[in-house]
Amino acid sequence: MEIENIVANTVYIKARESGGQKKGKSKKWKNYLQFPHYTQCLGLRSEITMSYGYIVEHQPIGKLLFQQFCEGNTQYFRCCKFLEKVDEYETTNHFRYQQPQGKLVPVLRRKVINDCIKTADDATHTEEPSSDIFAEAYKQIRANLAAEPFKEFLESMYFHRYLQWKWLEKRPVDKHTFRLYRVLGKGGFGEVCACQVRASGKMYALKKLEKKRVKKRHAETLSLNEKQILQRINSPFVVSLAYAYETKDALCLVLTLMNGGDLKFHLYTLSPGGFTEKRVQFYAAEITLGLQHLHRERILYRDLKPENILLDDFGHVRISDLGLAVELKENEPIKGRVGTVGYMAPEIVKNERYSYGVDWWGLGCLIYEMIEGKAPFRQRKEKVKREEVERRVREDQEKYSEKFTEASRTLCRGLLHKEPGFRLGCRRVGKSEEGADELKVHPFFSQSDAKTGREPVPWKKMEAGRLDPPFVPDPHSVYAKDVLDIEQFSTVKGVRLDATDNSFYDKFNTGSVSIPWQDEMISTECFQQLNVYCVNGLIVPDLRPDGGLAVAHNNANASKTGFFSKFFKRKLLLFKFKQLDPGFVIVFCEQALILSFSLFFCTCFSTHLARSNSTFTTSLTTSIAIDSSCLSVPIVAMGAHQMVRLHTSTAKARLVKHVVVSLFMTCATWTPPPITMVQWAQS
């Protein structure tokens, strides 16, 4: 049994270490991510928002492609670099002098430049310069790029390449898209295991929702709600949804893989007794940002507890499990007894209406537990009835030991206030979704403490991911229960799936999610390796208006053909001529190029002769097609309304070849008409 766990962990760690690298990708990964011809993707323009804000500012690949487009114009390029440098300045760890480069951005008004200089001069008299020096200049440069440069981008091959990436992004997803590894845990409706995308090598967590279990508990709305909320949220502090698909037995959510385990495991297994205040401050700040991002989307989380806060490879935390999350209508509280006993706010316990304040209560419970090493209203593994815990939440005042500093004590007391209107995070009238701003100015986050090593939180840098976490998980460890210690689900009986369930499954089965998918392509270097525009000085066929028809046709049918079909398929080269009827076509096979071109003039002559021969019907034109095996020559009669293919035996085919060659040899002075168009067709 121990061997089974060791093997599962070894395979999982090996896959995790190779994730995103070349050895983590399938050998056929370039086939999975093969671009279609751009003309196949033009229809996607009606499905996306054709704005600068969406394509450049919210789409990672769109941003990179727009930057590549701007590199061809010095003025556009300088504008892009200016915005990039301002973003870097506002999120850098240390303010330091930088040597001016002497490159001017010509679109800035002189007044804006003078205002920047004045703001910078005023900042020299402060301890820390303002990071908003370039706010007005940034706004003006952004508006300039969103005008004419963006219009030119939409007409360029860079936008065509963007549409090709969107086409790949929107392809169907199924179980064959991933490799599966060991089980990491279990959710309410199925197990959670590690998985890896075959095309990119990226590692994820696969959360399964068994269809029969979901139907038995009437949880269709709950499951779809979680999926739709995850799909909406794009925050570095909330677990992201990358893919959603279905199998025969389960609905599958492919989520960010958090290899560092959850806070409950670290708090009670690795660091019993609580964390240092510096570490608590870091986790609390990132969770605050996660809640702020949710609240700005009017999402109420309602289930904040240590086991729902996960650590990634680098030690950053994310909020997970949005099964109880709900969307609020503007200024309209809701009602419902949901959550975990001991972490539910008093208004939930009293079955009263509530709003965002219940999440700040949950954060208070979590901060208290991280410092004290136990929850404020219930000891770990304490045998106490639910009613008693709820009474403590309603009536008892939490107790603070010497582990709490003055700042941490006032923070917890503010968050754990029994009355929602006086609770920290709920005091801003009319802007309840911006309660995080109240926490950010609290001394626990805004003031330093030499005794505990706590420093003020630089919120912009934290949001940009530029702060180093106080703890980094061991990359060679698996922060999960042993495979055999994870309880298996029992078989669901008495439930039958039928056609009426399909409408729900169709809403769930939406494939990849745009921003996480594009981030995956960039982080695994798939974008860098595939984003090629020219080969040997020529634009690649899939971006050429006149050179990609074969690529488009082959890509459209590549996934539908098996090995033998690909091996024996016939590709025909069609030549049209000026001096013959518009419907006349000469046909040759790609796989028989030598024989085809050796008989090229023969075919032209024989057809020309045939048209003047009274034995052929004048309404039909004729040609000879040489197939890929070179063993038979089907005769093709092509007319304005029909095409009749007469397959001949091998013996007759040889006879036809012989006749054609003979005719050519006796009439060698005949000159074929010039070619005006060449295209590929599939036989």
CA distances from 76 to 66, 70, 82, 589, 604 (A): 10, 5, 10, 48, 54
With 0-12 CB in 10 A as exposed, 13-18 as middle and 19+ as buried, what is 668? Answer: exposed
Consecutive sets of 10 residues in the chain, 683 residues long: mean pLDDT of each? 78 76 81 94 94 96 96 90 84 57 58 61 56 78 92 96 97 95 86 93 94 91 93 95 95 94 91 92 97 95 95 95 91 89 95 95 97 90 88 93 95 95 82 84 94 92 92 87 73 84 92 96 94 90 74 51 52 38 37 36 42 34 35 32 33 37 35 38 36
Which residue in 115, 132, 303, 474 is the catalytic one?
Answer: 303
Residue numbers belonging to the annotated binding site for ATP: 216
Report how far residue 97's alpha carbon sits from residue 279's, in angstroms, rounded to the nearest whole number. Answer: 31
Residue 635 is predicted with a pLDDT of 32
Residue numbers belonging to the annotated binding site: 216
The residue type of 538 is L
566, two tokens:
């690909």
Residue 22 is predicted with a pLDDT of 61
303 is catalytic: yes
Report how far residue 504's alpha carbon sits from residue 561's, in angstroms, rounded to the nearest whole number. Answer: 31
Report how far residue 164's alpha carbon sits from residue 41's, in angstroms, rounded to the nearest whole number. Answer: 6
Residue 491 is predicted with a pLDDT of 76
Tally of CB atoms within 10 A around 508: 20
